[in-house]
């Protein structure tokens, strides 16, 4: 049985259908970000384990998730027009669900140049993780 890593990345089906390599790119980024956050000492408190779930969405699916969270009246943190998060807490785990939209302009760029996919996702996700680090007073990666 494999243990779930603290940072996980999920990609919506529409993006997986458009970009065949997006899952493998995200798997590599997931490994890289888990290592970087471990070396930045994000997981020093073993009493409550921090888990970050990053959801990469199209602009449409992002809006659907955002609207659903607003309807649920849960407390959300808006980092920008294309990124929001909310907490789900259990007894031993504090999970931050973070939704990140690939904007229409980014999508147009990716459709013209597929080879920039890895770089764009790396920059965008690292920026989000550093915003989370700042919010939680953790070390930047």
| Bridge partner residues of 86 (DSSP) | 76, 97
**What local confidence, expressed as pLDDT, does residue 1 receive?**
46
Whether the model pTM is above 0.95: no
Give the C-alpha distances (Å, rounded to integers) separating 128 from 6, 53, 93: 15, 12, 20
Sorted by where each begins, the domain ranges of the chain are: 7-135
Average pLDDT over residues 49-61: 94
Question: Could you tell me which of 61, 60, 66, 64 has the C-alpha nearest to residue 79?
Answer: 66
117, 19 Cβ separation under 8 angstroms:
yes
Task: Provide long-range contacts, Cβ within 8 A and 24+ apart, for 21-30.
Answer: 21/114, 21/117, 21/118, 22/56, 22/117, 22/121, 25/117, 25/118, 25/121, 26/56, 26/121, 28/118, 29/118, 29/121, 29/122, 29/125, 30/5
Question: Could you tell me which of 71, 73, 133 has the C-alpha nearest to residue 98?
Answer: 133
- Specify the range with the lowest mean pLDDT, choosing from 16-20, 34-38, 39-43, 98-102: 39-43
Q: What pLDDT digit, counting tens, does each position of 58-87 carry?
A: 999 999 999 998 888 778 999 999 999 998
């Amino acid at each position: 049985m494999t243990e779930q890593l603290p940072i996980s990345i999920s990609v919506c089906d529409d993006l997986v259908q458009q970009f065949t390599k997006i899952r493998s790119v995200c798997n590599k980024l997931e490994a890289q970000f888990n290592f970087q956050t471990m070396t930045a000492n994000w997981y020093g408190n073993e009493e409550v384990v921090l888990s970050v779930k990053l959801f990469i969405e199209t602009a449409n699916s992002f809006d659907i998730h955002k609207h659903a969270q607003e309807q649920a009246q849960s407390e959300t943190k808006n980092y920008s027009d294309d990124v929001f998060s909310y907490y789900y807490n259990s007894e031993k785990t504090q999970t931050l669900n973070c939704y990140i939209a690939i904007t229409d302009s980014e999508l147009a760029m990716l459709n013209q140049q597929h080879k920039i996919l890895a770089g764009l996702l790396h920059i965008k996700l690292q920026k989000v993780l550093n915003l989370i680090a700042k919010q939680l007073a953790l070390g930047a990666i």
